[in-house]
Structures are given as structure tokens and as C-alpha cells.
Structure 1
Amino acid sequence: MIWWQWASKWLLVPRPLCWDVEGLRGPWRAVTLPLARRALEGMFRKLNHLLERLHQSFFLYLLPALSRFVSIGLYVPAAGFLLLVLVLKALGLWMQLHEAGVGPEEAEAASGPSPPLPPAQGMGLASLVAPLLISQAMGLALYVLPVLGQHVATQHFPVAEAEAVVLTLLAIYAAGLALPHNTHRVVSSQATDRGWMALKLVALIYLALQLACITLTNFSLGFLLAATMVPAAALTEPCGPRPLYAALLVLTSPAATLLGSLFLWRELQEVPLSLAEGWQLFLTALAQGVLDHHAYGALLFPLLALGLYPCWLLFWNVLFWK
């Protein structure tokens, strides 16, 4: 009976969680529950203080004017919903590809006595390699050839070096409209529905990743590109009104977005441009973008040439798949 009373008293006495924990300062001491609670509370207070300090900086705000600012809680959800459209469209294509890949035996086993589905059309990865490689090659040519070929152009044509660079840019950009949309016929004589669906799935994921990275570094540029490219990317398919989809893709291409932004910029400044003045300003902006990259290391030109332009060509390929 004595040992039971002693054991009961020992269990009722609050004991520390850890007996021998060496502190950063002082001798050995026990870490009790209130001490752990205070440590956890202090950690959260430090994180809250750090968050307040970040909110006091201009990194999490947009300043459209000196007297106005836009918080991160307002502009990030807008870009997130635009990128969500690409993610949902990619998931829809994934489900369609999965349903198309189910054979009649699997369909009968899953649904019971329902009528069997027609055999699924085969989709080889070789039908996707050619569009991907040629689109990336066109982007690489758009990035490399204008600077490498400027001396050859000035020797054979009466143009300056800046004009040669811009004209080469426009020539390669226009050539991309004619080359990639029939590249799948190199490896496959029969264009299947699963082929363009798989290619569009890859293009949607590629575009979503690029726009997410751009938005994290330059929200204004990322939101502008997302607002123009996401609707066209989601609607593009080889079935339906192809001329309408083609016009929408051309109007939302990187070059057309730049041209429209220049007109909108001068319109907001209440200095409207004529078509000739807008075209000259567009050519000047192209030359200035290439110069800024090679002279100061600006990343806008390689981003458009090596990233967004090949991705846009993939959607152009999807449109003319059949």
C-alpha cells in the first residue's frame, strides 16, 4: 500500500518533457511544456515580424503611380486564376487521352455489359519529337542568326547593321509560321486526334511553367502575356473555326502583343500613333531589345526568342495538325 501511494504521488507530480537537454547558455536544465510553448510562440512572432517587414518593402507591391499601390493579395490571385485555366485544360486533355487509350477489353471489364469502345488510335512519341525539336530550333535561330548574319547582310544589301538585325528577326519569325505546322507528317502519314491532344498537353504545361516563372520575377510582364496568350492557348484546336483560331493566335503572338502594347502606351500618354509611326517604333523596339541583351545582359529578348516563341509555335502546330 505504501508503494502505491508513492507511485501515485510520483505520477501526479508534473514532470519535464526532457530531463537532460543542454541549453545554448548556462548549465543543464529541463525543457518543460511552458518553455516549449514560449519558444514556439517566439518563433511565430519572429516570422510575423519578418512578414511585416517584407510588406513594408516595395517587393510585394506594384506602384502604378506615386500615390497608388497594388498589394500582393490583389494581383497574385488574378495571375493565379489565369494560370489555373491552363492547368484545368491540361487536366481535361489528360483525361481525354486516358479515355481514348482504354481498349474494348478494359472498357467492358470496367463498365460491365456496355457496348465496347472502338480501338484506340495509336500515338507514338515520334509524332511529338519533330514539332518540339523544330519549334525549339526556330527559337534558337531567332536568337542567334540575326546577330551572326548582320555582317553578311550589310555586305550584300544596302542596309545598316541595325536594320539587318531587325529584318532578319522578322524574316525568321515569319518563316516559323510556315515551317512547323506540317512537321508531324515527317514521321507519321496519318494525323491522329491523340497526337494533337498530346502536343497541346505538352504546350499547355510548357506555357504555364513559363508564365509562372515570369510572374514571380516581373508580374506586369507575366500578367500581360498571360492575359493575351491564355485564351488563345485554351481555345486552339484543329477542329472548329480554324480561320478564327488562326487570327486569334496571330493577334496574341509575342510580336503582335509588343506592337499592340506600343500603340496602347502612346494612347495612354495621349499621343496617338499612325500606322507608319507605330511600325517604325516597333522596329526600334526590336533593335533596342537585341542591343540591351548583348550590351547590358537584359533577359527579355532571350525569354521571348527561346521560350515564348517556340511555345507559341507549338500551338500553331496544333491548329494545323490535320
Structure 2
Amino acid sequence: MKIRDILKMKPDTTSGKPDSKMKKLLIILLRVLAVLVIAIVLFIAIVFVVNKISSKSEEGKIQPYGQSVTVDGKNMNVLIQGQGEETIVLLPGYGTAAPALDFKPLIDELSPFYKIVVIEPFGYGLSDQTEKERNTENIVSEIHEALQRLHIDRYILMGHSISGLYGLDYVNKYEDEVIAFVGLDSSVPTLSERKIESSIIRVLNLLKKSGFARLQVKLGDDPYAALPYDDTTKEQLRILIHKNMYNPNHLNEAEKMYDNFRAAEDLTFPKNLPVIFFIQANHPVTDRWIPEHEKQIQDSVNGKMMLFEAGHYIYRTHSKEIAENFRTFMEQVKPDN
């Protein structure tokens, strides 16, 4: 082939077409990826900003209740209602945003007959937070100090959920002060919670700081929607859920929970202490719920258990039945009966 013939030949461009198509496809993918990244970053920023603005706004909407008691140099919030001769000290379950408001249906049923004292531990309700570890020893000591500050030295201890664990330690340490113990679907040391790793705690802390904890609550069901709380109380409960959810004290208590259960495994209720449990009849996770509670009172002189077709927050839906049966029980265990 002569040189002039070679020069007249048209260049073969077909081999470049696949490369050109790939480049165009790559550019499109990069643009889509960039849009997605921008959208995600923008979404995260919006969630963060909305949470900051909402939290600031809600601070001014909180309506104070109860009274402040100085415990370990900090303010612990306590609600006192009723003028009865006997005193009931109410202790909340883990993570209850505002115990004094959450217990309202039960308080209203009991306060005509008893003096009701609701303790909001550090990190709960309107109480301050503390730097101390949320182990059983510290929690029990702080509750006792609050009662001492209020000059309350004889009382019935009534605890929901995890307070069954703290209450078990409490009645052994201050046996001379406690008249009776009442468990509201209370925890049992032998049914231990799983150990929560530090990595999970860090994730929950990030959810709180980023604002996604608020979004989580917003997308979930309203636990108070169908319950007998007035609209003002429901609104305050929602505000305090956002305020206290995953706060440092709650996270530390969750991290210490496994150890707290283990530490209580060998504890039993004093034999002569009246004990009554109000328990859900069908626990959704374990079939040992009822048998393990029965074991706790098998040696009690005055031990009783009552079952309800209810969820874990039994006092929200069965406050009237609890109050009536509790009063009957206390009449039956009086020394002169």
C-alpha cells in the first residue's frame, strides 16, 4: 500500500465509542452520588437544627411541679400529694421521662388515702443530673437522703420495673424504715438484662446529640395517646421525653444495669416485710416472669401476687384496681389483724 493511499483512509473511530459511553455513564453516576450526598448532609443538618431550635423552645414551655430537695449538693425533684397518715414512696422504671407526671393516674387513686411521695432520681423529670455512677448503691443512697431531707422515716416503698431491683437493695439496707414493698411489674435479679456494650452507648449518645432521637420519638407511636392523662400533662410528658431521653445519667444507668442485676442476685426480701406484686399475666419475652416473682415471696410471712391482663406500664391502665387491692392487702397485714 502506497503512502498516499494510507493518508486517504478514514480513521477508525468505532474503537473509541465504548470509552465515550463509559465516561458519560460515570459522569452521570458521580452526579447522582453527589446529589445523594448533598441530600443526606442537608437532611442531617435539618434534623440537627430542628432539634436545637425545638429543645430551646421547649425549655420555656416546661411547667414546674413538685419541690426541690438538696441531695449530694444537687437538686432532686420530689412531688408530694395527699394527707394520709401513711406514706407511699413511688419510684420509677428505667428511663421514665417525668415520673411525677407519669404516675398521675395512680397518684390520683392513692392520694385520698395516703401521702404520696414521688422521687425523681437524678436525670429524671426535673431533677439535676449527676456525675456519679448510676450503680444501685448510689441510687439507693440518694433516694434515702432525699427522704431524710423531707423528714420521712416510715413509709411503704412502691417501685415500677427496675425500681424492683433498687427496692430490693433498699429494703435490706433500711429495713427499719420500710413498712411494706409494692412491685409494679417490678424487675427480678434472676431475670437479668443483657449487658449493654460501650459501643451501643456511644451510638445512643450520638442519636441524642444529632437530633435523631427526637426524630425517633416523632416517628414512633405516642405512648400516652389513648391513656387517661389530660392534654396539658400529655404535652409536658412529650417535652420531658425529648429533654431526658438518652441523657448521660440514663445512658450510664443502662451501661451499669447488668452489673446492678448481678449484684442483687443473692438478695431476698426480709421475711417479715409485707410484699405484694402487681404483675402482667403474659410477659412478651419470658415465661419465667411469674415463677421468679413467686420465688421472691415464697418465704414471706405476708407475700402476695396479683396478675393483670396489662402491659409493662401496668399503673397507667390499671391504677384503680391496683389502689383498691393494695388498700385491701394493707388492711389484711396490719399487726392487729
TM range (shorter): under 0.3
Larger fraction in strand: 2
- Choose between structure 1 and 2: higher helix proportion: 1
* TM-score, with length taken from structure 1: 0.25
TM-score by length of 2: 0.24
